[in-house]
A and B are shown apart, each in its own frame.
Chain A
Amino acid sequence: QVQLQQSGPGLVRPSQTLSLTCAISGDSVSSDVAIWTWIRQSPSRGLEWLGRTHYRSKWYNDYAESVRSRITISPDTSKNQFSLQLNSVTPEDTAVYYCARDPAFSGGWSRNAFDIWGQGTVVTVSS
């Protein structure tokens, strides 16, 4: 049974860096039939896809245009987890952050849907 366990602080000061980690059990961050994703949800912006990482002979990353200049998603194969870093946060980045899995098809192509989600982390940006 695949599970995603999120960890990280719930309060971040404005202009600082938001850092969250998603630990994977029952699957591998290096799997060639999975894509690992971060999504956030807020009352003002709804559900918003932020970015993803996946391994297909080498590591690939894709990021949403809205956060591209501030975001990094990194895999950690030694701990079987992946992380989100969002720099220069403002109160508009206050949201519930989720990690999620896209279970790619057998050829490695994205299913473009998210079947396993972490429990969510409420992150507040405030001084």
Chain B
Amino acid sequence: DIQMTQSPSTLSASVGDRVTITCRASQSVDDWMAWYQQKPGKAPKLLIYKASTLQSGVPSRFSGGGSGTEFTLAISSLQPDDVATYYCQQFGGNSWTFGPGTKVEI
């Protein structure tokens, strides 16, 4: 199975800051990378798919990039509502795996 790592594991920033989360895959996944936001007690919410395509209804301050083995999720101007845990998720070798998560705090 393809292994996923995320960094940092926890991120503390101020309202209005630009923040970036990195996800690395143990082998190339082309552009098959998605990003999710999860708040306590709720199901994950899809933000980005195919590495950089913004899911309908998601604010434009969220953006994704990368290909191959290294990917990023950026929030251009952090808002109080963005406090959550963020997960990357890849597809490769006919399996889907998630990263361990990055907790974003203000």
Residues of A within 8 A of B (CB): 46-49, 62, 64-65, 98, 100, 110-115, 117-120
CB–CB A115/B46 < 8 A? yes
B98–A120 CB distance below 8 A: no
Q: A47-B87, A111-B49 are in contact. Are A117 and B44 (CB under 8 A)?
A: yes
The answer on a CB contact under 8 Å between A120 and B49 is no
* Contact status B49-A98, CB under 8 Å: no
Q: B86-106 toward A: CB 8 Å interface, digit per residue (1/0)?
A: 010101001111111100000
Give the CA-CA distance A64 to B100 in the complex, in Å.
Answer: 18
Residue from A47, A48, A64 having most chain B Cβ neighbours under 10 A: A47
CB of B55 to closest CB in A, whole Å? 6
Q: Bound state CA distance, A115 and B58, in angstroms? A: 11
Residues of chain B contacted by A48 (CB below 8 angstroms) = 98
Interface contact A49-B87, CB-CB below 8 Å:
no
Q: Is B34 on the interface with A (CB-CB < 8 A)?
A: yes
Residues of chain A with a CB closer than 8 A to B99's CB: 46
Residues of A within 8 A of B96 (CB): 49, 112
